[in-house]
Chain A
Amino acid sequence: METAQNVVWDGIVRGYAPPDVLDIDPSLTLQTAEAAEVDPITYEVIRNSLQNINLEHGSTIQKLSISPITMIVRDFQCAILTEVGDVMFLGPYLLYLGNTLGLTTKWILENRSASPGIEDGDVFLSTDPYVGSSHQQDTGLTSPVFWGSELFCWVSNSVHYSDIGGPVPGSFCLMSQDIWQDPPCFPPMKLAEGGKVRADMEDLFLRQSRLRDTVGMDLHAALAGLSVARGRILKLIERYGAETVKAVMKRTLDAGERAFQEKLDMIPDGRWSERVYTEASVPGDPGIYVSQINITKEGDTLYIDNEGSSPQVGSINNTYAGLVGATLAPLTIMLAYDLGGVSGGVSRRVKFRPVPGTITCCDYPGAVSAAGVFNMPMVVATATGAVAKMVACADPPLREKAIAMADAQAYGGWIFSGLNQYGQFFVGMSAGMAAGAIPASPGRDGVDTGGLFWVPGMEAANVEENELAWPVLTLYRRENSAGAAGAGMYRSGVGAEEAWVLHGTDHLDSQIYMNESFVKNQGLLGGNPGGRAFHRLKQQTDAAAQLAAGTVPQGLDQVSGDEVPLFYKGMPAVLDPTSMWTTNLPNFAGYGDPLDRDIAAIQIDLTDGKLSTKDALKVYGAVVNEAGQVDVDRTAEQRAMCRRERLAAATVGVSHA
């Protein structure tokens, strides 16, 4: 296998990994001068203004877009970048997209500054995951902001578009063996010149889509976000001067780097790893594959590698941009939580040493369109495990910032298509993960349906919003119990389950459903793994008859009919008026030995109805009396017996090295 030292990371043969000093055509002049002094008040005014400009960029996209995945779930990201493409401010959206915007912008500086040139009013569009996106659907727009004749900075966004073409609705091409079976892959091209959208380029992009109108509206929402951000930055420069604003940008990045280094000082040197298994490189493939991320800390720098990952295969690949974004997301949450989205300083202290040709860092022409709902969450989860183990070894109070693994592969939940109740073709993406569950940490339980931590701004759609947009009727949406899944000394927050029947149509196709063959979510330092994400379907049910009689079924086991065996990455499942189906977002990972869980915490879960008496005994070794109270003495005896039983059932001294 080749090493990082003898490959060209050019964004063509392999993913783009920018050099420390970019090769930019001399015809492009960068604004680099900065004021020597900025008074503290002016500094804070400008810093907060820039942060708010980026937030306004995001809220503009959210307000003007029309697809639920952008408008409600907020599957997008926006950023302000320096003149050389270092990400300065990230929005509170999909974190792993943040650094991809920096990669794309740096590639444009190196590869587009000579031809066709980079000029005021330009907007570049890219769907190329080898340049800098997680998959083609996360299409990036990036636009230079000029002050006079000099390039001052960039504004950029990446939005998940509902369908950008390719063989299947939604563009997640599970059958792809290479990128030519994926949706189109456009390297950065000028969507706008001189402030005007080029009709030919817009048509080239939209012509690929089954949902031209929807994608077109979302594209213009993204353009509007850029326009708002650009205009606000120019007003800030008008008021304070380019050199003063630039000084604030540079010093904010420097401060972010120092704050990150201070946290690294609290972590011992060493190496931490995580391994997550996945299955089915394409539908029907019985193979099992490995995603592995390793972090080596040496002094004030983290070195990231993916040694141990399986060779790239089928449609389960991630590009270098995906690897970088997926790793920086948990690092940002656990070690840069106090930086308000300033991620560029963090990036300076994180060096990547990727092994190419792997499912976590594939080479062209590996297929990657399915990464958004499969491999990106998997690599985020893998990186989360490694980061969490490292942070758990930190000095207090930093170690309490470790967060166990969230979802490994269930992001997106359920993707489906057909004719809606208005007779129009649509592609729906029910973000089953949006309700989320914050996993456990050292020192505290997670948060029940607390969202997905690596998409801080994500929200779950209301049931009524889904029913308005899609031809479905929600039978129930409820939290899971706090049983074995995600148990630990500190338990994960619980996930949720939702059930549906058709309403207003007689046929839909489920393109993507998350029915994991086995649990993937690793527990943290003694905790139970998270649950298995599952999606169940029954046909020929009496759900409609029960509804007509005034009863709302409250479980798949409460209706008659035949359960259809669904397999991970199975073929599209047909839904008809007799169908009832459920999707379950599992609890995520727990932390520490469940037998060490505090009795009072167990009692609270019992009292709240989140934990059964049976699971209290089986999972936590807690004996509950007839009054529903945990018996402290008998629990101590029970736990001692459990520890003896563990050792009696265990093997000692069997090496697996």
Chain B
Amino acid sequence: MREQVIINENLSLRRTDAGARFVCACGHDLADGSTNFKEACAVRESPTADIGEGYASFAVEMAAQMCFREFFCPDCGARLTTEVARVGDPYLWDTAPRL
């Protein structure tokens, strides 16, 4: 039986008295393990062209439909995950390990 699943250096799924919980390395209890942890994050959404040099294109209207999302621990500001998405699309529930 697993006690935890390390997802990356800042995020893990841990067995607790309250069940499986997503927890940040800073100790912040982020979310229930059966949910999309992104919903509990602090989220910054910005144009993809703002990521850095070379991301901008001639297709400004099409690029304007897309965004870059950064999901942070709301306590320490660690970036837990990112996604490029169409503006308004739901956060992708992409990481759902079970203990």
Contacts and interface: CB of A to CB of B under 8 A. Distances in A.
Interface of A: 268-275, 277, 279, 286, 288, 290, 385-386, 389, 392-393, 399, 442, 483-485, 487, 489, 515-523, 525-529, 531-532, 534, 565-568, 584, 586, 591-596, 615, 618-619, 642-644, 646-647, 649-652, 654-657
Given A484-B51, A534-B54, A273 B76 contact: no
Contact of A393 (B7, B39, B77): B7
Contacts of A268: 2, 5, 97-99
Interface in B21-80: 36, 38-39, 41-45, 48, 51-55, 57-59, 61-63, 65-66, 68, 70, 72, 74, 76-80
A444 to B, nearest CB: 13
Nearest to A640: B77
B97 A269 contact: yes
Pick from B10, B48, B62, B85 the residue with the most CB of A within 10 Å.
Answer: B62
B82 A518 contact: no
A526 B42 contact: no
B59 A567 contact: yes
Interface string B85-99: 110011111111111
A590 to B, nearest CB: 9
Given A566-B58, A568-B62, 20 more contacts: A269-B97, A270-B95, A389-B95, A392-B8, A393-B97, A483-B52, A484-B55, A487-B52, A517-B59, A532-B57, A567-B59, A568-B59, A618-B52, A646-B42, A646-B44, A646-B70, A650-B70, A651-B43, A652-B42, A652-B74
Contacts of A520: 84
29 contacts: A268-B97, A270-B98, A272-B97, A288-B66, A386-B94, A389-B95, A392-B8, A393-B97, A483-B52, A483-B53, A518-B84, A519-B48, A522-B83, A525-B7, A526-B10, A528-B52, A529-B82, A532-B55, A567-B58, A568-B62, A592-B9, A593-B80, A595-B79, A615-B52, A647-B42, A650-B72, A651-B43, A651-B45, A656-B39
A286 B2 CA distance: 47
B79 A656 contact: no
Contacts of A272: 94-97
Contact of A273 (B7, B43, B44, B92): B92
A394 to B, nearest CB: 9
A385 B77 CA distance: 24
Q: Tell me whether chain A's interface is mostly helix, strand or loop, or mixed.
A: loop
A519 B53 CA distance: 12
Contacts of A489: 9
A643 B5 CA distance: 25
B44 A650 contact: yes
A330 to B, nearest CB: 15
Contacts of A288: 62, 65-66, 86
Given A269-B98, A518-B48, A485 B54 contact: yes
B66 A518 contact: yes
Contact of A523 (B54, B58, B82, B95): B82
Nearest to B39: A655
Nearest to B68: A529
A561 to B, nearest CB: 16
Given A286-B62, A656-B39, A657-B39, A532 B54 contact: yes
A592 B70 CA distance: 12
A270 B5 CA distance: 11
Residue among A268, A290, A565, A615 with max Cβ neighbours from chain B (10 Å): A268
A275 B92 contact: yes
